[in-house]
Amino acid sequence: MVLLGYRPLFALFILLGLLSSLFLAIAYAVDYAIPPSPEFLPDNSYTWTLFKGDSGSTMHSSSDIPRIPRVLYSVNVSSNLGGRLATPLVGDGLVVIADSRRVCGYSDVDGSLIWTADILDTYGASITALGMDDKVYIATSGRIDVHGEDIPALLIALDKWSGASVWVRELTGMKSSVTSNLVIYEGRIVFGTIWADSSVYCYDRDGNLIWVKGLTGLGNIRGIAVGNGMVFVTGENDYWVYALDIDTGDIIWSYEHGAIPGTPLYWEGRLYFIDSRGYLLCLDSNGAVLWSRDVGGGSDVNTNSFLTIDDDGHIYIVKTLGEDNGILKLDNNGNEIGFFKISRGEVTDIPVMTKRLLLLPVSGPDYVKIYFLWNGLNEIHSIVYKPEETFRPSISVANASIYIIIPYDRSRQMLMKLVDDEPPIIKDISDVKEVLADEAVDINATIYDGRSGIYKAILFYQVNNSEPKYIAMDIVRRYIIEPIGGYGFSEEQYIATIPGQPPGSNVTYWILAVDNVGNYLYSDVYSYIVVKPKMPLPPQQPSEQPSPVEEPQPPSIWMIIIPVLAVLAVAISIYFIRIKR
């Protein structure tokens, strides 16, 4: 009976011992593979500037993207919107694509279809423009049906997650159709219409009409840009550029040009557009011409200017007029920086600029192609397909991923998502075992990422189980100009220095590498001990040999586990001895 009182105690003691051994083993072998804090990750949040009539295309994204991506998935879709490929809209785990009659929502994860909204069957109107924030907004064309009934143009808001209708608004003008791109800006939805109406409309997210401004004589309103509290408007059959107050629709200024201006691009207080003669115009925010240059620039049938701009204000124009076609790069004063020539026979479309890569879609005689141009001038990759039809691809960029609509035939296209989901590579890390007291230690490693380049390398170190500290690692070899693809796109040596520590310290260290699209990798954990400097030995007689000095050894995991196991063995032995009695 007395022994029964000991059993729970012995059982608890044994359990605690086993758990302690397990915990120590895990703690010793931990690889610190926990997600890094946001301060170590690149900011690939994106800002779209909607730019293209018909499909709401993007011309700029502040997201970084892989230099050499892989295809995550490819799914069949329909995205023929008025004779050209619609551009996918991406956000919050959703990819939205439209053709002339329906809108579809796909999963960003695997491309599976989530919902479909048939606009033509439901409302009798064709889709001409779309946009997305917390809802999906659809603009349509008006028409006269077979019975002579006037079908008005509509602005429709759909639930983002189900495709269900939230609200529908008829445009006020008779026989109007939406002909421009649809821009969403600070809770405002802005777009323009055609001929008989020829007006700019501004709604809020709840479908309330804030203002409508008729611009008689402008013809088909094709281009809308927004910035600095103004809506900038250009038309297809007129020479005027208008700046409207975004709160009231009142005309702030107007500029009459000598040729038809293309869709404008607003950037940092300046307005850019390519006209019908191939000239690039730069206006200030008051409508005054800062400079004009003949660049041979192109635009499409909807007067969309084939130009884009990067975070540093460099301008990239698709040159379509002249003997050599390609990408012309200018500074913000119109001075030429460089030129990338495309292959003869290739026809270009609207380029998309990311942080450092320009994506240029083209079509050839029997293929479609996307150039990956570092800083807009150096080709580092390309994707080529040979579909049945050679519509030029349509591209969006969001959250470090690339979304492409590739033609297959006139009724079927493919949505492709291109990513880099591979971590960086870390090798040849300095394996230090012992250092002297107060001696700083250089830690070197070879780090690279052949798909996206290295964004950041961090050395973590820990002294005697204290709170870990970290040091940004520097690249050993620097270049006058950043290498093509960025640092770490090929193998680079990185270095950081751990400060000196007092004798008796045990220092563990490991490395975190993060690539430019947010993939990361932690290295194995290394450790060294800090010892006192060796005292000089006294003079020895020639016949005497110095006694060997024992080198301190780093602590072993068995030095921790074996004592614990010994205690357990003793406890178990005592327990069984008591039972036998």
List the CATH number of the domain containing 396. Answer: 2.130.10.10
Residues 440 and 407 reside in one and the same domain: no
Same domain, 109 and 200: yes
pLDDT score at 173: 62
Q: Flag whether 572 is in a domain.
A: no
For residue 263, the one-letter residue type is T
pLDDT (average), residues 532-548? 62
305: amino acid identity, one letter: S
Residue 184 lies in a domain: yes
* Furthest CA-CA distance within the chain: 122
Question: Is residue 444 domain-shared with residue 313, that is, in the same domain?
Answer: no
Instruction: Note whether residue 360 is domain-resident.
Output: yes
Is 550 part of any domain? no
Q: Which domain holds residue 508?
A: 18-42+423-531
| 26/111 same-domain check | no
Residue 442: pLDDT above 80? Answer: yes
Taking residues 270-285, what's their average pLDDT?
A: 92
Pairing of strands 434-436, 526-531: parallel
Question: How far is it, in rounded angstroms, from Cα 172 to Cα 44?
Answer: 40
Measured over the CA atoms of residue 288, residue 291, residue 294 and residue 298, the dihedral's sign is negative
Q: Is residue 410's pLDDT more than 90?
A: no
- Residue that is written with structure tokens 């150096």 in the block: 378
In this structure, what are the phi and psi dihedrals at residue 130, rounded to the nearest 5 degrees? -155, 160
Mean pLDDT of the residues in the chain? 84
Does 540 map to a domain? no
- The kind and range of the H/E element at 561 are helix 557-580
Instruction: Decide: 199 and 192 in contact? Cβ < 8 Å.
Output: yes
Beta carbons within 10 angstroms of residue 268's beta carbon: 10
Is residue 284 domain-shared with residue 157, that is, in the same domain?
yes
Per-residue exposure over 4-23, b if at least 16 CB sit within 10 Å of its own CB, e if not? eeeeeebeebeeebeeebee
Residues 305 and 440 in one domain: no
Residue 406 and residue 507 in one domain = no
Same domain as 231, residue 142: yes
pLDDT tier at 36, thresholds 50, 70, 90: confident
Rg of the chain over Cα atoms, rounded to whole angstroms, equals: 33
What are 117's two structure tokens? Answer: 């909204």
Under DSSP, is residue 21 helix (H, G, I), strand (E, B) or coil? helix
Tell me, yes or no, whether 206 and 293 share the same domain: yes
- 124 φ/ψ angles, rounded to the nearest 5 degrees: 70, 20
DSSP string, 441-482: EEEEEEEE-TTT-EEEEEEEEEETT---EEEEPEESS--SSP
Mode of pairing for the β-strands spanning 425-427 and 469-472: unpaired
Average pLDDT over residues 375-395: 88
Indicate if the pLDDT at residue 239 is higher than 90: no
pLDDT of residue 547: 52
Average pLDDT of the residues in 325-353: 91
Each residue's pLDDT tens digit, 178-199: 888 899 988 899 998 886 678 8
Residue 357 belongs to a domain: yes
Same domain membership, residue 150 and residue 235: yes
DSSP assigned state of 406: E
What CATH number corresponds to the domain at position 460? 2.60.40.650
Return the structure tokens found at 180. 């421009």
Same domain as 477, residue 364: no
Q: Report the domain count for the chain.
A: 2
Please report, for residues 437, 509, 527, 556, the alpha-carbon distance to residue 532 in angstroms, rounded to integers and kept in the order given.
6, 20, 17, 20
DSSP state of 563: H
* Residue 577 falls inside a structural domain: no
End-to-end Cα, the chain, rounded Å: 12
Is a pLDDT exceeding 70 seen at residue 332? yes
Q: How far is CA 74 from CA 56, 149, 259, 396, 418, in A?
A: 22, 41, 42, 15, 9
Neighbours of 74 (CB within 10 A): 14
> Domain for residue 333, yes or no?
yes
pLDDT score, position 39: 81
Q: Give me the mean pLDDT over the 470-492 stretch.
A: 92
Please give the residue that has the higher pLDDT: either 388 or 529: 529
- pLDDT of 525 reads 95
At 47, the pLDDT band (50, 70, 90 cuts) reads very low
Q: How confident is the model at residue 146 (pLDDT cuts 50, 70, 90)?
A: low
Strands (E), 325-468: 326-330, 336-341, 347-348, 352-353, 357-363, 368-374, 378-385, 394-398, 401-409, 412-419, 425-427, 434-436, 441-448, 454-463
Q: pTM for the whole thing?
A: 0.83
Query: Tens digit of pLDDT for each residue in 62-118?
Result: 778 999 999 999 999 998 887 778 889 998 899 999 999 999 999 999 999 999 999
Length of the chain: 581
Statement: residue 399 has pLDDT above 90 = no
